[in-house]
Amino acid sequence: MAKPRVEFEIGQGADEWGKFVVELESELAPETVENFLAYASAKFFDGTIFHRVIPHFMIQGGGYTAPDEHKDDGLRSPVKCEAEQGIKNEIGTIAMARTSDPHSATSQFFINTGDNVMLDHPGQDGWGYCAFGRVVDGMDVIERIRDVETASNPAMGENSQPVDPPVIRSARVVE
């Protein structure tokens, strides 16, 4: 059976940057993948930004329409952390962002731009972060996002807020 895929179209201002495609592991992380596909099918990600970028760590998106504007309309209930399934947080994998509560992931996701073994199950908190697929096309777009100029992110206390955030123009489930 074919693994589900989601295609993202990315831009910044008037510029179109291209697309990237993630292939999802529904057999290993069924609740996480179902949740992610529901967001993509509902067009929830459209117009959201990559709001947190740390070059050799990760790029995070799926929850903000501007650096200080969280997208709440259409937010689904959190999903159970499925990090124990064993997908490693390696370069090019997609994982769910969450708070300190391991079962708090909703819409925000990140793509690893480094090999982040410290995020793998069990991690420092006994859970880790659930990687649930990988980029199978368009790593050049991921690298372009990774390389955007960033400034201080007051909410996170780090230099990770894109000066001109890349926008998810659309995210669609594809065959």
What does the pLDDT look like over 99-139, one tens digit per residue? 999 999 999 999 999 999 999 999 888 999 999 999 999 99
Question: pTM to 2 decimals?
Answer: 0.96
- For residue 85, give Cα distances in angstroms to 29, 32, 120, 130, 165: 7, 11, 10, 8, 32
Give CA–CA dist 50/10, Å, rounded: 10
Fold category of 5-174 in CATH = Cyclophilin (2.40.100)
pLDDT tens profile 12-47: 988 999 999 999 999 999 999 999 999 999 999 999
Distance CA 118, CA 121 (A): 8
E runs forming strands in 79-175: 93-96, 109-112, 131-137, 150-153, 158-162, 167-174
Domain residue extents for the chain? 5-174
pLDDT in tens, 63-92: 999 999 999 999 999 999 999 998 999 999
Q: How many CB atoms lie within 10 A of CB 14?
A: 5
